[in-house]
Chains A and B, each alone.
Chain A
């Protein structure tokens, strides 16, 4: 019986903003490299749901999870729990708890800790951490941060990595803060925070090593993260670990993912580590927290299973990012640029009872399959189109089933935060057709026959209500690759 992390998953959005694009527009600032940018239809809830799907792609699956913890400094709602949205999108059981750890970046550490504690106590838990960082135009925050999420499943047995030590150090001081409602952080003078953070990091790290009964030289992988860049760098350089042990910081490619950074970096380590290695995660946020993990032989099996299932690694997502996003689009998506709306009515907020009635469809993307003839219906219906049987349906989740573009259109008139809307007709593998929006693509790159998968998105927000639903997105590398009209034509039967 080895309790600890049994599965993991990360999600980095498709889009990257070149930092030089900021300078090109504003005349100053910018810099080298790129930052990860959540699309206009993503928020911390959807980023977290996507990471969660990947954590559940292999292993015991959604039915095993007993507690879900979602942490973000940028929750979709206050008062209302966002973890229930992730819970619904992942198709977790009704008996599974769903809790938010929202607010400060340090909540993310508590979320991971809670997942470990739960697993040690015999429960199967899931920790999802997610962050989406914007900042004011031209700020270091805008330039240096990024958006992303990661998720871990922890269980009482079958761990790929077990927690063998931890340490913490806390202090009350003002380094980075935001009053509720603000989108950009305030930061005190950098050197003040650095002076406080470095000793805190050292103390937490030392305490964790002592707790694990290890020394600096025993560490094989070290992840050091924090939103205070100088302090984080100084703490990392002062660890006293062997050369090559420090994990890549990902800052040049995706930016500082804030509360999610340590978790995403840990996923990256788990994707490269070997069995029996020691991994330390040191997080600087209003103090410091250190975890010492030891990987197990199960890690190798998990790595192989993930590769076979095609679950994208952090490194693959870093490499797959698309870096031609314009700065104007970035500002628009983040509501920093007030654009002329289309001359169309604003969308109506969805009705709570209607949404609840369609929970299995809207959130879990469950079609209905006729048990009499096998025909799949999206959205689910009670009457079968094919054989006219009534109430012979059984729900069937298709969120993870790929499909093929039967035909598509570019809609310049429909409401969107990022027009034009790409409308696609998708024929799912194994049957079933669905018409929806396609995201993470440019209109001129799509072809009939392209392969797509589903992704959970925030379609729009109306009157303070976020409308979450599924969209199609091109399968990695599949954009424009269809071409062969016959393979994907609408005549295609099953």
Chain B
């Protein structure tokens, strides 16, 4: 793959993130205004100092005017992007390329989603006029195929796997409980998680990420200009994005225990960033825990655990906030919530806080230090076997 990346050419100099949740008192315009102004202020500038914008949203608006109207931008380029649940990361990736190309000096990537106004449970998606042959399974159902397949392949008892899934939800709630911006700021006991009503397959309510409203934004510039705006910027080390051929639902070889799209984008991102031992070189990871078995499988696809062993590592606490490799220290999609277009940027926001030592003390991770300055964000869109995957790596040191 002729993918060489833009390592260390672009830096994040400011970020903003709204609270995520059922924000009945905030509309899309409010969310965008809050995140954009916070991010700009964080970079020590006004939104009118920004040269170009990339707006990510799946269902909360179309075209750049979705952003330029509420912010009253003065005739600036705004590109609206969509890539399912990886939309936020996609906005960021494209903004980075624009800056790296030299086309713009300062760009903003901003993601937003307003999901709670529909009145429906779960995601409702966007559909073209169809022929009526799509089976119409819900997202939890599509991801629930992972659990029995993983259990079967690696000889894990299904009750044991249910405990593993519960442990992931437990961990992410523990982290979210220490995050004032999270949708769910409450710890939940293993017993409560286990007893929750089923949504699809073995997935209970607590195995599913929060449906929420929210927005997050990043301001970026060329790496060599970063010091003008920010004393401790984050440098972009890798950006990888792949769309698979949607082989899973039609290929008898696919076994629902991996996301090939993730494996490919992780390989590419590690090559761009020069990472060879992700588990020890990364200080943290924010991964797409849309459902608990997703996080389990991602630990293997991202190379954090050997195949067939992630379930043990989860139970041993490897990915806890104080574990070997903290995963989703902000609570993840599970507890922070998942406003589609904002999630990828929300993940970066946690890297922004943690790697720069600005996270609240009650959830500051202790893995960051000399020789360990990288954070990974992973964003997934679609369903097992038919989706898109983004892997990004940022770090505090310019190589």
- Chain A residues near B (Cβ < 8 Å): 342-345, 347-351, 354-355, 357-358, 361-362, 377-379, 385, 406-415, 421, 423, 425, 427, 431-437, 448, 459, 467-469, 485, 489-494
Residue in A351, A412, A415 whose CB lies within 8 Å of B129: A351
Residues B130 and A491 in contact, CB atoms below 8 Å apart: no
Across-interface contacts of B249 in A (CB, < 8 A) = 425, 433-435
Residue in A362, A409, A412 whose CB lies within 8 Å of B145: A409
Expressed in whole angstroms, the minimum distance between the Cβ of B15 and any Cβ of chain A is: 34
The CA-CA distance from A431 to B153 in the complex, in Å, is 21
Residue in A413, A491, A492 whose CB lies within 8 Å of B199: A413
The CA-CA distance from A361 to B254 in the complex, in Å, is 23
8 A-B contact pairs sorted by A residue (CB < 8 Å): A348-B130, A350-B129, A354-B130, A409-B200, A410-B141, A423-B141, A425-B145, A459-B132
Known A-B contacts A342-B121, A344-B122; the reply to A433 vs B131 at CB < 8 A is no
Given contacts A408-B145, A411-B200, A415-B136, 12 further A-B contacts (CB under 8 A): A351-B129, A351-B130, A355-B132, A358-B133, A385-B250, A407-B145, A410-B141, A411-B137, A411-B140, A413-B138, A414-B141, A490-B152
The CA-CA distance from A491 to B251 in the complex, in Å, is 10
Across-interface contacts of A459 in B (CB, < 8 A) = 132
Across-interface contacts of A448 in B (CB, < 8 A) = 148, 152
Residue in B122, B133, B144 whose CB lies within 8 Å of A379: B133
Q: Which of B169-213 contact A (CB under 8 A)?
A: 198-201
Residues B250 and A467 in contact, CB atoms below 8 Å apart: no
Across-interface contacts of A489 in B (CB, < 8 A) = 152-153, 255
Known A-B contacts A385-B245, A493-B252, A493-B253; the reply to A413 vs B152 at CB < 8 A is no
In the complex, what residue of chain A is closest to B119 when comparing beta carbons? A343
The CA-CA distance from A342 to B119 in the complex, in Å, is 11
Q: Which of A343, A344, A377, A468 has the most CB of B within 10 A?
A: A344
Residues A409 and B255 in contact, CB atoms below 8 Å apart: no
Q: Which of B113-139 contact A (CB under 8 A)?
A: 118-122, 124, 127, 129-133, 135-138
Across-interface contacts of A410 in B (CB, < 8 A) = 141, 198, 200-201
Q: Which of B263-295 contact A (CB under 8 A)?
A: none
Across-interface contacts of A412 in B (CB, < 8 A) = 198-200
Q: Is B241 an interface residue (CB 8 A)?
A: no
Across-interface contacts of B245 in A (CB, < 8 A) = 385
The CA-CA distance from A297 to B152 in the complex, in Å, is 54
Known A-B contacts A421-B137, A421-B141; the reply to A407 vs B149 at CB < 8 A is yes
The CA-CA distance from A258 to B127 in the complex, in Å, is 41
Residue in B137, B141, B198, B252 whose CB lies within 8 Å of A432: B252
Residues B201 and A362 in contact, CB atoms below 8 Å apart: no
4 closest residue pairs by CB, A with B: A350-B132, A411-B141, A351-B129, A413-B138
The CA-CA distance from A410 to B201 in the complex, in Å, is 5
The CA-CA distance from A308 to B127 in the complex, in Å, is 45
Secondary structure at the B interface, as helix, strand, loop or mixed, is loop
Known A-B contacts A407-B145, A414-B141; the reply to A385 vs B251 at CB < 8 A is yes
Q: Is B103 an interface residue (CB 8 A)?
A: no
Expressed in whole angstroms, the minimum distance between the Cβ of A318 and any Cβ of chain B is: 31
The CA-CA distance from A359 to B27 in the complex, in Å, is 43
Residues A344 and B124 in contact, CB atoms below 8 Å apart: yes
The CA-CA distance from A410 to B199 in the complex, in Å, is 8
The CA-CA distance from A433 to B385 in the complex, in Å, is 12
Expressed in whole angstroms, the minimum distance between the Cβ of A486 and any Cβ of chain B is: 9
In the complex, what residue of chain A is closest to B138 when comparing beta carbons? A413
The CA-CA distance from A362 to B131 in the complex, in Å, is 8
Across-interface contacts of A351 in B (CB, < 8 A) = 129-131
Residue in A345, A414, A431 whose CB lies within 8 Å of B252: A431
Q: Is B84 an interface residue (CB 8 A)?
A: no
Residues A385 and B254 in contact, CB atoms below 8 Å apart: no
Expressed in whole angstroms, the minimum distance between the Cβ of A410 and any Cβ of chain B is: 6
Residues B131 and A406 in contact, CB atoms below 8 Å apart: no
The CA-CA distance from A411 to B145 in the complex, in Å, is 11
Q: Which of B121, B132, B200 has the most CB of A within 10 A?
A: B132
The CA-CA distance from A385 to B255 in the complex, in Å, is 16
The CA-CA distance from A411 to B347 in the complex, in Å, is 29
Q: Is B256 an interface residue (CB 8 A)?
A: yes
Q: Is B353 an interface residue (CB 8 A)?
A: no
Residues B251 and A435 in contact, CB atoms below 8 Å apart: no
Across-interface contacts of A491 in B (CB, < 8 A) = 153, 255
Across-interface contacts of B118 in A (CB, < 8 A) = 345
Q: Is B247 an interface residue (CB 8 A)?
A: yes
Residues A409 and B144 in contact, CB atoms below 8 Å apart: yes
In the complex, what residue of chain A is closest to B122 when comparing beta carbons? A413
Known A-B contacts A361-B133, A433-B249, A434-B250; the reply to A411 vs B120 at CB < 8 A is no
Known A-B contacts A347-B136, A385-B247, A411-B137; the reply to A492 vs B252 at CB < 8 A is yes
In the complex, what residue of chain A is closest to B245 when comparing beta carbons? A385
Across-interface contacts of B135 in A (CB, < 8 A) = 423, 435-437
Residues B120 and A377 in contact, CB atoms below 8 Å apart: no
Residues B137 and A469 in contact, CB atoms below 8 Å apart: no
Residues B250 and A377 in contact, CB atoms below 8 Å apart: yes
Across-interface contacts of B256 in A (CB, < 8 A) = 407, 425, 490
The CA-CA distance from A150 to B141 in the complex, in Å, is 37
Residues A469 and B199 in contact, CB atoms below 8 Å apart: no
The CA-CA distance from A95 to B34 in the complex, in Å, is 64
Residue in A345, A355, A407, A408 whose CB lies within 8 Å of B131: A355
Across-interface contacts of A427 in B (CB, < 8 A) = 252
The CA-CA distance from A348 to B127 in the complex, in Å, is 9
Across-interface contacts of A362 in B (CB, < 8 A) = 131-133
Q: Which of B119, B124, B200, B252 has the most CB of A within 10 A?
A: B252
Expressed in whole angstroms, the minimum distance between the Cβ of B265 and any Cβ of chain A is: 19
In the complex, what residue of chain B is closest to A414 when comparing beta carbons? B138
The CA-CA distance from A433 to B136 in the complex, in Å, is 17
In the complex, what residue of chain A is closest to B200 when comparing beta carbons? A411
Expressed in whole angstroms, the minimum distance between the Cβ of B298 and any Cβ of chain A is: 19
